Amino acid sequence: MLGLNFAQEMMDRHEIIAVDRGKLVSAPFTVLKQDLLDPRAEDTILDSAQPDWLINCAALADLDACENNPELAKLLNTDLPRRLARACKTRNIPFVHISTDAVFDGEKDGFYTEEDKPNPLGIYARTKLEGEWAVLTENSKALVARVNFYGWSLGGRRSLAEFFFHNLSNNKSMSGFTDVVFCPMLVNDTSRILARMVKRGLSGLYHLVGTQAMSKYQFGVEIARKFSLRESEITPKSISFSGLLARRANNLWLSTHKLSTALAEDLPDFSTGLNEFYTQNQQGYPQKIRSYAQV
């Protein structure tokens, strides 16, 4: 989801070379077909593309899938980033790795900074944290961004915003967790800020999330209100009764002070991103994204 939206944002300003296993068949940018789990895939990609930057958006990001397949989670979330970081260092290519806010256990009162010690609760969070360590150990000049984003995706099911929008649009009731707090950012904002971070030559660990913390229930309500849908269809619920396999942290409120200071600018507020998300839908952006997978 991030890779596709990043390409969409940047393709008018930069030459984009995407790496995909075969889903993208009509994208308006260059696509290299490559399975990242293939041995030495990183060498094949970098020697072919010879990029000025490499941004690694690949991951096994389904938390329950990680619990069911920890070996695959390790391969994609830890081992692959290590290989990419090492290959980029060898070729002197700036490397950006995308991590997650989920590395924290959510037990802290208030927000987390980059200095706080992570304590992952599940396989996904643990393998992503180990991926951070692997990247920064292999390549001290690498940039690692912990993110939490929403937006429109290739299949229409990759983000919480799409979940609320599609269910509400079809008059389907759903639940929203009142005791899970996070900092959502529109994926297009995430993409634009990532590009600025690379251009500034930033390295090390940064929190790249929204500036406003809210519960997932409140997020759903904000989606409903923006699209003039029925917020009454969203039932407040505790995550304790979710039945989800992987444990989720209750508090993922992350401070963005380090990043805003490094960029010397304020990060976009939530309402700005939500307005753009709404406008994208009005202008057919979701259909445009999905068309890239159609012949």
How many whole angstroms from its chain centre is CA 268? 16
Contact (CB, 8 A) for 6 and 194: yes
Q: Specify whether 124 is catalytic.
A: yes
CA distance 193 to 204: 15
Beta bridge partners of 30: 17
Contact (CB, 8 A) for 181 and 214: yes
Contact (CB, 8 A) for 31 and 176: no
Q: How many CB atoms lie within 10 A of CB 159?
A: 19
Contact (CB, 8 A) for 54 and 37: no
3-state helix, strand, coil in the chain (%, to 5): 45, 15, 40
What distances in angstroms separate CA 78 from CA 49, 67, 127, 239, one per listed residue?
A: 23, 15, 6, 27
Contact (CB, 8 A) for 19 and 32: yes
Q: Where are the beta strands (DSSP E) in the chain?
A: 17-20, 30-33, 54-56, 95-100, 143-147, 149-150, 174-177, 181-182, 185-186, 204-208, 214-215, 234-237
Q: Is 175 helix (H, G, I), strand (E, B) or coil?
A: strand
Question: Which residues contact residue 284 at a Cβ distance below 8 angstroms, ignoring those fewer than 6 apart?
Answer: none
Catalytic residue from among 112, 124, 150, 292 = 124
Active site residues: 124
